[in-house]
Amino acid sequence: MPNPIEDDHELARAVGVLAGRWGLVEFYVEYIFTLLVGTNRRKASILFSFFKGVGTQCDIIRHMLDETPNVSDDASARIISILKNYARLAPERNGVIHYPFGWDSEGDERTIYKSMKRRTGPELSFKKPTSAADIMKLADRVNAITDEIASLLSVDFWKPTLLQSLLAQSPDQTQESGTGLLGSPQSPSEEQ
């Protein structure tokens, strides 16, 4: 059976855009975790890599927010809102990436469908009509999460910094005074 991904270049492009945008939002979610744990990025990244599920990732970040008094209430509320959107989109993204596409033919018309699975009901799987445009709309929703995280964070890929609006830092908790992002001591090697 022909695969629509092979035949429809716009569909293949849309799936690729979604995958790329999801990778970026995952990076940003990990980045939030890194800032909250107050250690260097390598250690935080190793630790975060063991939290495979989106639900677990969101839960651990929520718990870290509770344990990080320097994060303003506004920033905390925004991060929780971001995490809720991230968790809501994960099943849709997974459905596009992990389940096969197919063609439905009625007369001379062919439409693309996505195989999906049900948790309840008499049939395990079903067909859901889809298109490149539908997948791009999902990719745009994922991109909106990235934009929202970026509005909270100032990202320099080599040395993470946090916008002053994210943390309610006192003057003695700035990086110039030799402390980490959350007021914890930071060695010069961790600042690299």
The fraction of the chain above a pLDDT of 70, given in percent, is 78
Q: Distance between CA atoms of 74 and 63, rounded to whole angstroms?
A: 16
Rounded Cα distance between 157 and 177, Å, is 22
Q: Are 7 and 105 in contact (CB under 8 A)?
A: no
Cα 81 to Cα 101: distance, rounded to the nearest angstrom: 32
Report the C-alpha gap between 168 and 164 in whole angstroms: 7
Task: Tell me the residue ranges of DSSP E strands in 75-138.
Answer: 101-106, 109-117, 125-129
The predicted structure's pLDDT at residue 166 = 42
Q: Residues 21-61: pLDDT tens digits? A: 999 999 999 989 998 888 888 899 999 999 999 999 999 99
Q: Is the pLDDT of residue 85 over 70?
A: yes
| pTM, rounded to two decimals | 0.75
- The CA angle 184-171-30, to the nearest 5 degrees, is 45
Instruction: Name residue, tokens 């002053």.
Output: 164
d(CA 22, CA 25): 5
Paired tokens of 68: 């990080």
> Whole-angstrom Cα distance, residue 50 to residue 60?
11
pLDDT at 102 over 90: no
| CB half-sphere exposure, 148, CA atoms < 13 A | 19
The pLDDT assigned to 184 comes to 39
Q: If you ran DSSP here, which 8-state letter would residue 129 be given?
A: E
Place of tokens 């303003």: 72
